[in-house]
Amino acid sequence: MAEVLRIPAMRRMWYAQIISVFGDVLALFAVIGILTFRLHATPRQIIGVQIAYMLPIAILGVLAGVFVDRWPVKPTMVASDATRAVLVLLLMVSHTVWHFYAVLAAISVISSFFGPAQGVALRAVVPMHGLRSANALMQQVMFGMRIVGPATAAFMVSALGPRSCYLADSASFVGSALLIASVTLSGVQTAALHTLQDAPEHSGLARIVQDMRQGIHFIVHHAALLFVILAMASGMFVMGCFGPLIAIYVRDNIHADTRIFGIAQAMIAVGMFGGINGLNAFAKKVRNTVLVYSGLAGIATGLAILTLLTHIWSTILGNLTIGVAVAGIIIPAQTLIQQETPHALMGRVGSTVMSIIFASQIAGLILSGQLAQYLGVRQVFATSGVLLVMLMIAGRLWMEPKHAEPAAS
């Protein structure tokens, strides 16, 4: 990781990620606090906050990648940050649940362009053998802020009010835009556009459909990529289920209080953060697909612990295991996608993956309650574990890479 951070462009994008993600955590915590304690929102409305943010990305992800592959990368990222800096300020004048939903959905629409563009930029500035470390650094920020962000947000909301969080988030987007604007990405888009022009050119809607079809066709006919994308989707589905179900599990199965629920939830984030660092410390030479298999097995193991044992210690252990295992899927899967995808398709493939991941999380949020009502929480965990094992078997039989992967570091 230290070697990757010596690359000036990577270092600046990492700093941008830190401040923008931290700002997002502050703003989201403030929104949930207002909905919960001032507007007295129902649990379904609180879950709606997450869905309002994720749904536009899930729907628009595939389409956004088409434009990202044709637009210049740096201006796309800078414009996305600048637009979101303005949209966040609308939270200051939001007074109903639907106001908050609308603003978060608008921010999500812009984020659907930023994510794929960031993936293109990351691959452009980091050598192939350093991509796993680069992805680990970026995800480390995401999971680390989940640990430290809520405490900071709680202090700011109580001492300065929720508007301070919105202002901080807006300022973080401005800072991110300035950092990205200082990055040199010359020649990133030229090769991609040249490759795109090799195909028969259409106009208008036909061209957009053609570009979308190219990205989806590449994923479907690349067995290794299809496997890791399905693995990531499975992991995110489980994480989506956990939000609503782990609270019910703690209450009904281990008969504990909210303090234990908070600790159990935190263990997932702690496991993710530790798993990311462990990958770079102990798994530098392990193939990406092997790590993905291990991650799937780890999630299944954590689910088995939660299904078979109903103690406080086993709940903490199971959640910690799942957190570590999810990190073991996300980082190598992202790395393999970046290594195997032609540069001209990076935007479309990256956005399609993002769309699938967010759709999986939404499905987990929506379906978890219904499934638990008919099957029971422990039975949902057990069923999810069995499906993960089946995915491992399918991957081993039909989705192995046809050639050796590049060495990771």
| Mean pLDDT value of segment 91-95 | 91
pLDDT at 336 over 80: yes
Residue bearing the bigger pLDDT, 155 or 198:
155
Ranges 72-86, 140-154, 158-172, 247-261: which has the least confidence: 140-154
Residues 296 and 391: their CA atoms lie apart, in Å, by 8
Question: Any residues with CB less than 8 A from the CB of 344 and at least 6 apart, and which?
Answer: 69, 191, 192, 193, 194, 195, 196
Residues 303 and 241: their CA atoms lie apart, in Å, by 12
The pair phi, psi for residue 258, each rounded to 5°, is -65, -25
Taking only Cα atoms into account, the Rg of the chain, rounded to an integer number of angstroms, comes to: 21
Residue bearing the bigger pLDDT, 210 or 19:
19
The pLDDT of residue 392 is: 86
Structure tokens at 294: 């291990």
Q: Which residue type sits at 291? A: L
The pLDDT of residue 202 is: 54
Q: Are 136 and 280 in contact (CB under 8 A)?
A: yes
Residues 320 and 265: their CA atoms lie apart, in Å, by 9
Binning pLDDT at 50, 70 and 90, where does residue 188 land?
low
Q: Which residue type sits at 389? A: V
The pLDDT of residue 192 is: 45
Domain boundaries, the chain: 2-198, 217-398
DSSP state for residue 345 in the 8-state scheme: G
Q: For the residues of 54-105, what is the DSSP string, one character each?
A: HHHHHHHHHHHHHHHTTS-HHHHHHHHHHHHHHHHHGGGG--SHHHHHHHHH
Structure tokens at 286: 């392990």
DSSP state for residue 221 in the 8-state scheme: T
| Mean pLDDT value of segment 77-85 | 95
The pLDDT of residue 401 is: 54
The pLDDT of residue 193 is: 45
pLDDT at 363 over 90: no
Please give the C-alpha separations between residue 84 and each of 66, 139, 244, in angstroms, as whole numbers.
21, 21, 29
The pLDDT of residue 168 is: 93
Residues 354 and 360: their CA atoms lie apart, in Å, by 10
Residue bearing the bigger pLDDT, 208 or 110:
110
The pLDDT of residue 16 is: 93
Q: Per-residue pLDDT tens for 13-68?
A: 999 999 998 888 889 888 888 887 788 887 678 778 888 888 998 888 788 888 88
The size of the chain, in residues, is: 409
Which of 192, 208, 131 is closest to 347 using CA atoms? 192
The pLDDT of residue 36 is: 76
Residues 256 and 252: their CA atoms lie apart, in Å, by 8
Residue 8, number of CB atoms within 10 A of its CB: 12
Q: How many DSSP H helices and E strands does the chain contain? A: 15, 0
Q: In what helix (H) or strand (E) does residue 197 lie, and over which residues does it extend?
A: none
| Mean pLDDT value of segment 157-179 | 92
Q: Are 342 and 194 in contact (CB under 8 A)?
A: no
Pick the CATH number of 2-198 from 1.20.140.10, 1.20.1250.20, 2.60.40.1180, 3.90.700.10: 1.20.1250.20
Domain 2-198 shares a fold with domain 217-398: yes
Residue 108, number of CB atoms within 10 A of its CB: 21
The pLDDT of residue 204 is: 61
Give me the helices (H) in 126-202, please: 131-160, 162-181, 188-196
The pLDDT of residue 191 is: 43
The pLDDT of residue 402 is: 52
Q: Are 348 and 120 in contact (CB under 8 A)?
A: no
The pLDDT of residue 404 is: 45
3 state SS of 395 = helix
The pLDDT of residue 39 is: 84
Q: Per-residue pLDDT tens for 365-385?
A: 888 777 887 888 899 889 888
Q: Per-residue pLDDT tens for 298-324?
A: 999 999 999 999 999 999 999 999 989
Residues 349 and 377: their CA atoms lie apart, in Å, by 34
pLDDT at 203 over 70: no
CATH superfamily, domain at 217-398: MFS general substrate transporter like domains (1.20.1250.20)
CA 230 to chain centroid, in Å, comes to 14
Cβ-based burial of 197 (10 A; exposed 0-12, middle 13-18, buried ≥19): exposed
pLDDT at 93 over 80: yes
Residues 298 and 392: their CA atoms lie apart, in Å, by 11
Q: Are 234 and 297 in contact (CB under 8 A)?
A: no
Q: Which residue type sits at 387? A: L
Please give the C-alpha separations between residue 245 and each of 16, 239, 264, 265, 331, in angstroms, as whole numbers.
34, 10, 12, 11, 26
Residues 320 and 271: their CA atoms lie apart, in Å, by 5
